[in-house]
Amino acid sequence: MGRIVFWLRNRRPVTLVVLGYSFYIFCGFVLLCLPFAHAQPGLSPLDHLFIATSAVSTTGLATISPGGSYSFFGEIVILGLIQLGGIGYMTLGSFVMLAVRHRLDDVHQGVARKAFVLPQDMDVARFIRGVVAFTLIIESIGAIGLAWLFARAGTPDPIWNGIFHSISAFCTAGFSLFDNSLEDYGADIGINLVIVALCYLGAIGFIVMSDWWLWATTRRSPSLTSRIIVRVTLWLALIGTIVIALTDPALAQLGITERLLASLFQVMTAMTTVGFDTFTIANLGSATILLLIVAMVMGASPSGTGGGIKSTTVGIFYGAVRGALAGRSRIQLLGQSISEARVHMAMAAFGMYMGTLIIGVAALMLVEPHDFADLLFESVSAIGTVGLSLGVTGDLSTAGKWIVIAMMFAGRLGPITIGVAVFPKPSEVDEFRRAPADVAV
């Protein structure tokens, strides 16, 4: 045991993040394989691995029905994996260490920064305490509200459904105990708004919550990161909702209130990468599907529970385009210059994301007979840890399931983590040996 601890302490934080999520998935897989975790016989071990990976990555894609295939124990296991995946690797262990020792060692601090993509000036210990407190408070309020709304709607087991869907929504996992997600509640304004609120609170990230709590209590100005996240999220949600409500032919058959509610929800489910739906995605128009793909690629926010390239990366790209067209050498957002290191990181995140996506789509096309658009949507959903599907997931072959499992795992780690793990850090000698060169763009 001592050798294992020594070995772990000498690993890079990114390596520990990969090992940590792998360990969570393995434990979940073992528990889901237990006979008393099943509600029906004949379930495949590969399906258990798929569900475990989907839960830890907070994706929500499922090859079998979570509500119909697993017993109450199995559902608890899935919910536990969602919670662990949603609040981040080592959060629970770090919180326990803080409760016992009142401090974090260097290993826990390094891994927490990698797992949550924290700025260097953020206090990790205070951040971890805030994550746990904020998570428990929001999920509890959401569970109470949903339990009451489900009971009012005549849903069986409203308390358990309220707890399960509250945690699944806040962690942007998209797992539902209903076979058709939340489509039976498309016209229920209360359930829709509670789910939307939970998803956005989880997706905008714990950095924003920490900053705005400090603003409310100490009047300290929110960080640039928080302001970018809030503005990008609000603008994308507003534009997406209006465009879909005005243009989608399937939603045009609904009344104005239900149409706006459905448009708001579908944009939210793609942006926050939660994967719930209140309207059958396959019935939406092609333009709407394309818009949802774009929203899934953009994704949630750093340190949040969602996936995608992140809203801050979108903001930096917007600033880069605007700056280039204006002839500025420095990128500015909200009146502040962005460091070159962050710009390079944003470009790297986008490049790694798109590279992983292209490889995933190509791999699925080699083993699956579905249309390109369906496989593209499935791949974007898997890498973005979204969980939406055009009906491909349940028909995946064995090879297809392994490919989607790999994409979900890669999406949970994030493009930067994958890049750091794949590409070794150059030595300082290499850095200074190469003179900068000009290049045409």
Domain-by-domain residue ranges, the chain?
13-314+339-420
- Give me the pLDDT at residue 117, please: 53
Report the predicted TM-score, pTM, of the whole model to 2 decimal places: 0.86
The more confidently predicted of residues 10 and 132 is 132
Instruction: Kindly state the helix (H) or strand (E) to which residue 376 belongs, with its residue range.
Output: helix 372-383
pLDDT tier at 418, thresholds 50, 70, 90 = low
Closest CA to 301 of 237, 225, 354, 224: 225
Placement of tokens 């509500």 in the chain: 67
- Among 117-126, 243-252, 272-281, 405-414, which is the least confidently predicted range? 117-126
Joined tokens for residue 131:
């994550």
For residues 396-416, average pLDDT? 89
Per-residue pLDDT reduced to its tens digit, 302-341: 777 778 888 888 888 888 888 888 888 788 887 788 887 7
The more confidently predicted of residues 211 and 364 is 364
**Residue 441 pLDDT greater than 50, yes or no:** no
Placement of tokens 């869907």 in the chain: 165
Mean pLDDT of the chain: 83
**Considering the chain, what percentage of its residues have pLDDT values greater than 70?**
81
pLDDT tier at 429, thresholds 50, 70, 90 = very low
What residues have CB less than 8 Å from 338, skipping those under 6 apart? Answer: 316, 319, 330, 331, 332
Residue 238 neighbours by CB distance under 10 Å: 12
For residues 19-43, average pLDDT? 91
User: 90 to each of 17, 85, 99, 131, 225, how far by Cα in Å?
Assistant: 8, 10, 14, 12, 23
Closest CA to 310 of 394, 405, 437, 208: 208
- Give me the pLDDT at residue 363, please: 96
